Structure formats: structure tokens, C-alpha cells
Structure 1
Amino acid sequence: MPAFSQATPQERCRFWLLLLIALVILGAGIGLRDPWPSDEPRFTLAAKQMVESGDWLFPHRGSELYADKPPMLMWLQAASFELVRNWRLAFMLPSLLAGLGTLLLVYDLGRRLWNRRTGLYAAGGLLLAFQFVYQSQRAQIDPLVLFFITAANWGLLRHLLAPPDTGATANWPMFWLGCFCAGLGVITKGVGFIALFMLLPYAWAAWRGWDGVARPGRGAWWRWLLGLGAVLAAIALWLVPMLLTAHARADMPAYPAYVHDILFRQTAHRYANAWHHIHAWWYYLPIVLFSWLPLSLTYAGSVPRWWQRLREHDARVLLPLCWVVLVLLFFSASPGKRDVYVLPALPMLALATAPFLDELLPRRWLRVMGLVFIAVLGAAMLGLGLWALHSHSPKVAQFVARRDLADGGAALWWMCVVLGVVQLALVATLRVRRALWVVCGGMAALWLAWGYWAVPLLNDSSSSAGLMREVRSHLAPGDQLGLVAWKEQNLLMLDQPAVDFGFKVPWHLQFARATQWQAQAPATRWLFVQQTAMGDCVDRAQAIYLGHANQRDWWMFKAGAVVPGCVPSAAVDELPDDDADAGAVAAPEAPAPVDP
């Protein structure tokens, strides 16, 4: 790595200012909302059950094992709760810290490979990218796996890139650390190994004698193998105790099923024979163009400069840029695609772009594009707000009804108006000359308005907090509640013991078992049921309609509302509507529920 001088006071000030801005933007809304579907409630519910049960090795979703993802995020959420004792803060802390950590790693790579200014550009470009902030403000696995893959890239690049004019040599401890982080990525979401793709462009550059690549020397083969050992050691932290415990519980069918599902069905089988989110091979092209705005505005200027550096055999550009291409090709080859799959490529793209921003930012064409981008965004927000306030459109009324917004959603629409006015005011006052600040200010306004204005307004309907508060209001002391055709947010936001009859169990079987359970104590046992799952087996006149939440209608009732001898047909069953549901593990024949 090139040597770099001591930071000046101005450089230190810029770094800390960037970090403060990142904390404010990525932390916008934390503590003001509960987990939102589809993924956040299931991960938080599993973490909550870990804390309450003491079983941290096998995540549960209610009474069933949950095998869609390894438990890394759930462990960190549970650990965060043990520290702060507040789930509204704890469930978001891993994503916030992962986002900040990713920015720091990209900054450090930029300053080591080029200089501190380039490091700031790399981190700043990443912070501006829409997809990065959007995902970092969500309690999903993707921000965490992004951090571990970026940490792996950080370690690998510190080893693989060692310009000869500095006298630097291969940094084997950094290589092993990078491999270990790749292993942590594997036990976070399974795809952490993609960080090791960085070795492919390195091998080509070393073979072609490019400048800037480390020379490991002869007899280093065993050091490379230690990297594989580091990957396996990280995976073993979870895999070994999980397999040993599952073997000890082999007499319970759910545990062997869990092992098979998480090690085979959710990995290679899922990649090669995806059963959801099927898209064409070019699916990621719009993601690269639009979800990575406004960083993607620099493509037109970056591409010829990348080509020039590659012709000059600059490995600092080759390695991260080729790695981005390999990641895009890898995920494009699978029939199942989601936008978040390629998120790990974004930090390396920002790194490869950063060295040229000093030259690109003064260019008028780029400043005009940035100005137009914020102007279009501001005009769209202003137009949406004014239209919703004054149009009396049925679509607006339907949205307001689904979200149960007060005053026709006026507060939300005024937020759009204010946001649009702020963004357009930035465009009008700062203009082309200060277009960079227009883009920065416009994006900051967007995220602050979303986190501190929109999120509190939408929380009750998005999280089911309002729905489950209504459920609790109908329960007297000593009453029990059974859940049928439920979603994770229902059990999580109920915030008191409940009985479930499985999650992956077909709805008509859940209903039959639930009514049998209810009949054992009809005076004190209620059922909470999704409307579709009731069929014609419930007298609506004797049931309580709770309202519409999460695009579903919900009811609760006692035994008197159940039509005697009626069981809904299998036609009411609904297949899981999200990919995580496909990973739940249920025993073939769920046992009768145990009273809490």
C-alpha cells in the first residue's frame, strides 16, 4: 500500500463531518418504528424468542424452526437487546452499525490505495447511493452481509495490492482476516464466499505482470491454503455446534429437516433451481442504473477513465471493478433474482469511481445531470403531494384506508409537498455551480423526511402495532389467544404469550386444530384469524372485525362464533408470498399445542 502522510486538521474535520452526517442519515427513524414486513418481523421475532427461551442456536418462528437464513443477524439483534433493553432500538442497531462500518472500510481502502480525499469520495459516493441508504435503514440481513463482504474485500485488497515502489510486500494476516470475514458472510446469508472472487482478477494481473499487485513469493502455497482454513473456521463457529446439537435431537423430525433445509435447499438448490423471484438475465441492469443513483450519474465519465487505467495496468482499478462484474454475472446466472443480491457490489463500485471524481465533479455535464436528478425528484414529490391533497382520487382514498391514516393522510401528503419544495429550492438557489451540494442536500432531505416524518405516520399499519393493540383491548385478564393463518408481525407485536398451530401448516388444518383447542375452554379462549382462512366456518355477526392491516383482513372470536362441525376446505390455503416463508421448517404432523 502507498504511504500516506499525517492527516491535516481540515482532512480530519471532513472525515468526522462525513461520519456525523452518515450517523444522522442512516439512523433516521430508529426508535420511532417497529419492525415492518416482510423480513423485519420474522428476524426480530426469532431474536426475541432467543432472548426469552435461551435457545440461541436454532431460530424459531413461533412453535416452528426457521431455516431460511443462518442466525447471525438474529444473534446480533438479541445481543443488542441485552445491551439496550428496548426492541425498537435493538432490532435496528446491527444494520446501523453495519452501514457505518461499511462506509469506514471503503474510506480506508480509498485513502490507502490513493489518498484521503479519494477515501472521502468513495465513502461519500456510497452514502449518496439510494440502495445503500434504503437497505441500511432496514433491519434485514443484507446490510450485515454487505459489511462482512466489504470487510473481506478490505482484507483481501490490503494483501493483494502492494505497489512495488513502496517496498511493501504481501500482507498475509490481512489476507487471512479477509477470508475469515468471508466465512462470517457465509454464516450470515450464505453468499459471503463471493468476496473470494477477488482472487480471480488478481491471479490474472499477477500472471500478466501488472504493477501494483503483491508478489507472494515461492513456497507460499501453504499460506494460500490457510485462507481456506480461515473461511472454514468462521463457518465452523456456527456449523459445528448446530450439527452436533441437531444430531443429539435427531429423534425430533424438525431438527434433521432444519439441517437439510439450511445446508442444501437454501443454498445450491436455491441458486440453481430458484422457486421465486424469477427474472430475465438483464434484471440487474435497471438496478445498476437507477437504484444506484446518484452515483450512477458518473458512469459516462468513469468508463473511459477506467479503460485508460486498465490499459495502463493499474491493478487498483482492475481488482474492484472486475469483482463488481463477476458479482453481477454470478447473480444474473441464477433464475431467481432480487435487487438486494447485488448490493455488495456497490461499495467496490464507489471505490473504483472515487479516484476520478476530483476530475469529474467540476464538469458541467455532470453538474447539470445532478441538478436535473434532484429537480425531477423534487417535482415528483411536490406533484404527488398536491395531487393527493386536492384530487379526491379513489386510489388515494384506498391507500389512506389501507394505512388507516388520520385526516385523509394529510400529514403524509404535506410531507411530500415540503420535501419537494425543499429540493426545488436547493435547485433554484444553488444552481449548476454548486450542484454537488444540491445533490447532497436533496438526498439528505429525502432520508430525513422519510425517517422522522413518514415513518411515525406509517408505523401502526405497517408493523401491525395498531392491529395488535386492538386485539389486546378485547382480552380480559386470564384470556388466551390462538393464532391461525398469522404473520410474524402479529405474534411479535402482540407482546404477550399466545398459542400457534404452526406457520407452514396448511390453514385449514390450523383452523381445525385451533377450534379443537378453543373448545377445551370456550369461555377464555379467543382465536385471531386471517379472514381468508375462516371460509364459511365463522358467523361474522358473533365475531369481532379488527380491520385491515398488511393487506389482509383480520377477525377474532370465541367458540360461539364457530359453525359446529365446519372445517374450511383446502381451497383457503395460501402459499407463502415471500421468499423467507419458503424456508420455514415444520414437522410433517405438528403436535397439539401446549397451553402457555
Structure 2
Amino acid sequence: MSALSKATPQERRQFWLFLLIALVILGAGIGLRDPWPSDEPRFTLAAKQMVESGDWMFPHRGSELYADKPPMLMWAEAASFELVRWWRLAFMLPSLLAGLGTLLLVYDLGRRLWNRRTGLYAAGGLLLAFQFVYQSQRAQIDPLVVFFITAANWGLLRHLLAPPDSGARANWPLYWFGCFCAGLGVITKGVGFLALLMLIPYAWAAWRGWDGVARPGRGAWWRWLLGLAAVLAAIALWLLPMLLTAQARDGNPAYAAYVHDILFKQTAKRYANAWHHIHAWWYYLPILLFSWLPLSLLYPGCLPRWWQRLKARDARVLLPLGWVVLVLLFFSASPGKRDVYILPALPMLALACAPFVDELLPKRWLRVAGLVFIAVLGAAMLALGGYALLSHAPKVAQFAVDRDLADGGAALWWMCVVLGAVQLALVAVLRVRRAVWAVCGGMAALWLAWGCWAVPLLNPSSSSSALMAEVRGHLGPHDELGLVAWTEQNLLMLDRPATDFGFKVPWHIQFARAVQWQAQAPATRWLFVQQPAMGDCVDRAKAIYLGHANQRDWWMFRAEALVPGCLPSAKVDESPDDDPSADMQAGP
């Protein structure tokens, strides 16, 4: 790592302006919506139950333990709520801070490995990438795990790299810090250990005597092993208390099942023998090309320059780029694939591209490609909005009905028209000479329109807030509600106590338990049920149809609506976790 010169006033202004822009873009829409399926309500519900129950060690989904993910994000959301006392802000705050932190780490690596301008290019390229912003505006685990893996990479690269011919020694405290962050990534989503793959290209470069590799010195083997101790120490912060608490509750078999699920089924078994999201080995290639636009427009210019730097034995390029390749190979080897799995590789790819941006920006082909990208995006948005407004197509009308949009969704379609017009105007005004500003402005317009215009329109149906408000409207002050075949957003947005009969429990068993529960106080107990779970056991004329939300039809009824002696058969069952994407209602 080179010694940093003092920043000029212009460089300081550029940095703070970039940080402000990043805050506006990543924060667009915060406070304007509630958690949206499929994952957000699940994590926020678990965090809310932590706050209400005081049990922060074991996440719950209603009455059941939730063992699909470690509790790091749920802890972060619960802690955010304790700080701000408003769930609409608290559930998004961890993702916002993680996104900003990732940008700062990438900027710092770029300025230390090259210069401040390169640091801004690295962070700016990351902020432009579609998938990074989209995920940073979602309250899912991925932004947090990307932050911890990037922090681990930051510590490792600060330790492993040094200026050519400087004779600089390795920075062991930063190495241990990087390993500790990798451990935090493990207890966030299990894949934090991937940061340690950075040691493989480093070992190659050190063995081949590449430029820019720090020398650890003789007899350093025990220092390397302390890195493993740092990883294990971070994991132990959660693992040891969890195991000890579960052992203390060994009278309840649910805790033993929780330990087994989270340590084995959701890690090694999920990777080696995935049971959903099965895709071919080349699945990630379109993600690299399209989900990482417009950063991916740099690929044709970066590929030959990467090859030149690798032939020149430049470890500053080898380590981040080699690590990206290893991450892609790791996830491609598993049959189960999702686009977010490779998101942790994006910051290091942006860093590897950054040194060549100054040389590439004047190239006409790149500026034309950027203009074409924004023009195509703008034309698509304009065409979509115009078609929806003028065609009166049945699918457009059905979309508006499903999402409970007023006036056939006219406000949403006008947003598409305005956004497309803005993007096309940027292309027309800035043209090839200032194409980079057209790209930046076009992407900023997309995220601001989405967060500040579309999000408030889609929130009532996507979050089930409108559905559960109607449910509350039918309940008296002393009435109770039981949930059957429910989803996390139902309990989260109900905003009052309710009784559930399991979540993963088969629907016909839930229904049977609910009927018994309702019979104990038929005058004050209602059941809230997803339509398929009722079978033919409910007289629809005596029940209340609540409407269609989250691609499902919902009913509520008292005991008089039940068909005497009827219980649904097992044919009505549908496992809530068979398709984790079934709840997805929202996306740009």
C-alpha cells in the first residue's frame, strides 16, 4: 500500500459529494414502505418478536423457531428499532448502512492501491451497478453479508499488498481484522469464509515473486494461524451462546432441531444438495452481463488491460480479480443458484475495473454504449407507460386490480412515462461528448423514481398492510384472531396479538387445530385463512372475502361459517417454503 498524500480541496469536495449522492440513491424510499415479500417480512417479524419477547438468541416466526438463517440481520433490525423506534426506518437501516459502508471500503482500497481518483471510480462503478443498488434498497441479508465480506477483503488486501520494491512488511493486525470480519460474514449468511479465498491468488503471487506483494517475514506461520483463530472467535460470538442456551433447553426438542437445521441443513446440505433454485453451470453469465450494468460495459476495455497487468505481474489486479473468479467457480459448482449469491464479488470487480476507467472514458465506443444503454432503458420505460395508459389491455387492468391501484394504475404508468422521458432527454441533451453524465443521471432518475414514486403506490398491496387493515376493521375490541396458511407479512402487519397453529405445519393440520381453538370461544374468535386451505369446509356466504393480495385470496369467518364435521384433506396442503420466490411482488 502506497503512502497517501494529503487530499486537495477539490478531492475532498468530490468525496463528500459522492457520499451525499450515494446516501440519496441508496436511501430513496426509506420510510415510505413496509417490508415486502418474500424475505423482508420474515426477518422483520423475527426482529419484532425479539424486541417484544426479549429473546434475542433464537429467532421465531410466530410460534415456531426460525432456523433458515443466522440471526445477524434480525439482531441488526431489532437494534435499529431500539434506536429509532420506528419499524419503517429500522427494518431498512442495516441495508442502508451496509451499502454505504461497502462503498467506503471499496473507495479506500482504490485510493490506497492507486489514488483517490481511482477510489472514486471504484465506488462510483459499484454505485452504478443495478444489482448493488437494488439489493441495498432491500431489507435482506445480502447487503449485510456483502459488507462483511468486503470488510474482510479490505483487511486482507491491506495486509497482503504493498507498493512495488517498497520492502513493506505485512500488516498483521489488519489481516486478523479481515479474518474476524470473514467470521462475522459466516454468522450472517454462512458464506463469509469466501473472503479467505483471497489467500489463494496471494500465495501464487508470492511464490512467483510478483510485484506489489507484501512479505510476511520468516517464522510467520503462527501469525497466519491466528487468522483462523480470529475467524473462529467471530463465529463463537453467536455459536457458543446459542449452543449453551439450546442445551439448557434440552427438554424442548424444537431447539435440538433448530441447532441441526442451522448448522447442517442450511449450510453444507444446501450447497451440496440444493432442493430449489436449480440452474445450469452457466447461470451466472447473464448476471455478470446484465444485472451488473452499466458497470459491465467496461468489460471489453478492461479484459485486454487486465491481461497486460497480469503479464506485468501486478498483484493489485491479480488478487481482487482472481478472487472474483474463485467466487464464481464456487457458486457455479453448486446445483442451487440465485443471482444474489455472487453479489459479494461485485465490489472487488468494480475495484479491478477502476484503474482503467480514466483511460477508457474518452473512448467513443464506451460512450456510445453508455448512451445506447440509457436510451434503450428510457425507451422501454416510455413504451411501457404509454402502452399501459392507452391500450386498456386486460393484463394491465389485472395488474392494477391485483395490486389495488387506483384508476387502473395510472399514477404508476405516468411514472414510467416521466422516467423514460427524462432518460431520453438526458441522451438527447448530453449526447456522446458527455455520455458519462447521461448514464449517471439516467440511473439516478431510475432509483429516485422507483423509491419515491412507485414504492408508495405499491406498498399497500405488496406489504399486505391494506389487507390486514381490513382484517382489523372487522375485529371488535375483544375479538381474537387465528391464522391458518398464513404468510409472515400477515402477522407482521396485523399489529395486534394473534394465534397461529404453526407455519411449516401442513395446512390441513393447521385448520383442524384452528377449528378446535375457535370452538372454545366461538362468539369472539375469528379465523383468517388462505382460500385453498379451507377446502369445502367453509360456507362462503357466511364468511368475509377480504380480497386478493400477494397472489393469494384471503377469507375470515366465525364458527357459524364452518360446515359441521368437515375438515380439509391433505390435498389442500402447500408447503410455505417450497418456493421462496412465490411471494415476490415487487421489483423495478
Q: TM-score, normalised by structure 1?
A: 0.97
State the Cα distance separating 1:578 from its structure 2 match.
5.6
Query: What root-mean-square deviation, in Å, do the aligned CA atoms of Structure 1 and Structure 2 show?
Result: 0.9
**Aligned partners of 2:580, 2:78: CA distance in 1, in Å?**
19
> What residue in structure 2 maps to residue 288 of structure 1?
288
Amino acid at match of 1:519: A
Cα distance, 1:581 vs structure 2: 9.8
- Distance apart, 1:576 and its partner CA: 2.7
Distance 2:260 2:477 in 1: 42
Whether the aligned pair in 2 keeps the contact of 1:113 and 1:316 (CA below 8 Å) is yes
Q: Describe the shift of the 1:74–1:179 C-alpha distance in structure 2 as closer, same or farther (beyond 3 A).
A: same
- Does the 8 Å contact 2:380/2:420 carry over to 1? yes
What is residue 484 of structure 1 aligned with on the other side?
484
Q: Distance in 1 between matches of 2:315 and 2:7?
A: 25
In structure 2, the residue matched to 1:535 is 535
Maintained 8 Å contact 2:110/2:116: yes
SS at match of 2:165: helix
Q: Distance in 2 between matches of 1:566 and 1:187?
A: 46
Is it true that 1:355 corresponds to 2:355 in the alignment? yes
Corresponding residue of 1:335: 335
- How far did residue 228 of structure 1 move? 0.0
Which residue of structure 1 aligns with residue 498 of structure 2?
Answer: 498
DSSP-derived class of the 1:266 partner: helix
Structure 1: distance between partners of 2:554 and 2:520: 23
- Distance in 2 between the 1:577 and 1:244 partners? 28
The aligned runs of 1:347-496 (5 Å cut-off) are 347-496=347-496
SS at match of 1:267: helix
Match of 1:231 in 2: 231
- Contact kept? 1:81, 1:91, Cα under 8 Å: yes
- Per-residue deviation, residues 400-431 of structure 1 (Å, max 9, x unmatched): 11001001100000000000000000000000
What amino acid sits opposite 1:93 in the alignment? L
Mapped contact 2:57–2:242 kept (Cα < 8 A): yes
Give the 3 Å change call, closer, same or farther, for CA 577–61 of structure 1 in structure 2. Answer: closer
Alignment partners' CA distance in 2, 1:562 and 1:89: 41
CA distance in 2, matches of 1:221, 1:380: 57
Separation in 2, partners of 1:187, 1:578: 24
What secondary structure is seen at the aligned counterpart in 2 of 1:505?
coil
Cα contact 2:38–2:581 (8 A) shared by 1 = no
Determine if contact 1:68/1:581 at 8 Å carries over to the other structure: no
Look up the match of 1:212: 212
Closer/same/farther in 2, CA of residues 580 and 64 from structure 1, 3 Å limit: farther
Secondary structure of 2:526 counterpart: strand
* CA displacement at 1:3 relative to structure 2: 1.3
The Cα shift of 1:164 comes to 4.3
In structure 2, list runs of 5 or more residues that go unmatched. 583-588
SS at match of 1:547: strand
1:39 aligned partner: 39
CA contact (8 A) 1:38 1:578 kept: no
- 1:509-548 correspondence to structure 2 within 5 Å: 509-548=509-548
Following superposition, the deviation at residue 577 of structure 1 comes to 4.7
The answer to whether the aligner puts 1:248 opposite 2:248 as a matched pair is yes
Which secondary structure does the structure 1 equivalent of 2:554 belong to?
strand
Q: Which residue of structure 1 aligns with residue 137 of structure 2?
A: 137
| Counterpart code for 1:268 | A
Compared CA separation, residues 197 and 579, structure 1 to 2 (3 A): farther
CA distance in 2, matches of 1:367, 1:577: 45
Q: Is this contact kept in 2: 1:537–1:563, CA < 8 A? A: yes
* Alignment partners' CA distance in 2, 1:578 and 1:416: 34
Structure-2 separation of matches of 1:64 and 1:312: 57
Deviation, 1:143, is 0.1
Residue 572 of structure 2: aligned partner: 572
Residues 509, 575 of structure 1: alpha-carbon distance in 2 compared, 3 angstrom cutoff: same
Which residue does the alignment assign to 2:585?
none
- Conserved 8 A contact 1:511-1:567: yes
1:485 is displaced (CA, Å) by: 0.1
Report how far residue 575 of structure 1 moved: 2.0
Q: Residues 459 and 99 of structure 1: is their aligned pair in 2 closer, same or farther, counting only changes over 3 Å?
A: same
- The aligned residue for residue 188 of structure 1 is 188
* In 2, Cα distance between equivalents of 1:483 and 1:120: 51
C-alpha displacement of 1:42:
0.3
Which residue pairs with 1:49 in the alignment? Answer: 49
Q: Go from structure 1 to structure 2 and tell me whether the alpha carbon gap of 1:580 and 1:68 turns closer, same or farther (over 3 Å shift).
A: farther
Relative to structure 1, is the Cα distance of residues 70 and 150 closer, same or farther in structure 2, using a 3 angstrom cutoff?
same
Deviation at 1:432, TM superposition (A): 0.3
Query: 1:206-241 CA distances to partner (integer Å, 9 max, x unpaired)?
Result: 000101111111100000000000000000000000
**Match of 2:383, as an amino acid?**
G
Structure 2 contact 169–217 (Cα < 8 Å) conserved: no
The one-letter code sitting in structure 2 at the alignment partner of 1:287 is I
Other-structure match for 1:150: 150
Does structure 2 conserve the Cα–Cα contact (< 8 Å) formed by 1:545 and 1:556? yes
Distance 1:157 1:559 in 2: 65
Give the partner amino acid of 2:288.
V
> C-alpha separation between the residues in 2 aligned to 1:442 and 1:313?
38
Residue 127 of structure 1: aligned partner: 127
Task: Note if contact 2:503-2:576 (Cα within 8 Å) is conserved in structure 1.
Answer: no
User: In the alignment, residue 53 of structure 1 is paired with which amino acid?
Assistant: S
Distance 2:258 2:8 in 1: 54
Q: Aligned letter for 1:280? A: A
Q: Distance in 2 between matches of 1:177 and 1:579?
A: 38
- Measure the CA separation in 2 of the matches of 1:32 and 1:168: 50
Distance (Å, rounded) in 1 between the aligned partners of 2:571 and 2:167:
71
Q: Is the 8 A contact 1:68 1:580 kept in 2?
A: no
CA contact (8 A) 1:132 1:343 kept: yes
Question: How many Å separate the matches in 2 of 1:457 and 1:155?
Answer: 42
Look up the match of 2:107: 107
* Conserved? CA contact 1:210–1:315, under 8 Å: yes
Q: SS at 2:217's partner residue?
A: coil
Q: What amino acid is the match of 1:5?
A: S
**SS in structure 1 at match of 2:55:** coil
* Alpha-carbon distance in 1 for matches of 2:303, 2:470: 56
Q: Is this contact kept in 2: 1:3–1:166, CA < 8 A?
A: no
1:175 and 2:175 aligned:
yes
Per-residue deviation, 1:356: 0.1
1:365-389: CA deviations, max 9, x gaps?
Answer: 0000000000000000000000000
1:4–1:112 CA contact under 8 A, matched in 2: yes
Kindly provide the CA deviation profile for residues 564-591 of structure 1, in whole angstroms up to 9, marking residues without a partner as x.
1111010000023566699xxxxxxxxx
More deviation in 269-278 or 164-173?
Answer: 164-173
CA distance in 1, matches of 2:577, 2:71: 22
Name 1:594's counterpart in structure 2.
none
* Deviation for aligned residue 1:168: 2.1
Structure 2 counterpart of 1:429, which letter? V
Please state how far the C-alpha of 1:165 moved relative to its aligned partner.
3.1
| 1:166, distance to aligned residue in structure 2 (A) | 3.3
AA aligned to 1:367 is R
Q: 1:579/1:225 Cα in 2 relative to 1: closer, same or farther (>3 Å)? A: farther
Residue equivalent to 1:20: 20
Distance 1:177 1:435, change over 3 A: same
Q: Tell whether the 8 Å contact from 2:544 to 2:557 is kept in structure 1 after alignment.
A: yes
Deviation by residue 1:4-43 (Cα, 9 ceiling, x = unmatched): 2100000000000000000000000000000000000000
Q: Sequence identity of aligned pairs in percent?
A: 87
Q: Which amino acid aligns with 2:429?
A: T
1:172–1:223 CA contact under 8 A, matched in 2: yes
Q: In the alignment, residue 204 of structure 1 is paired with which amino acid?
A: W
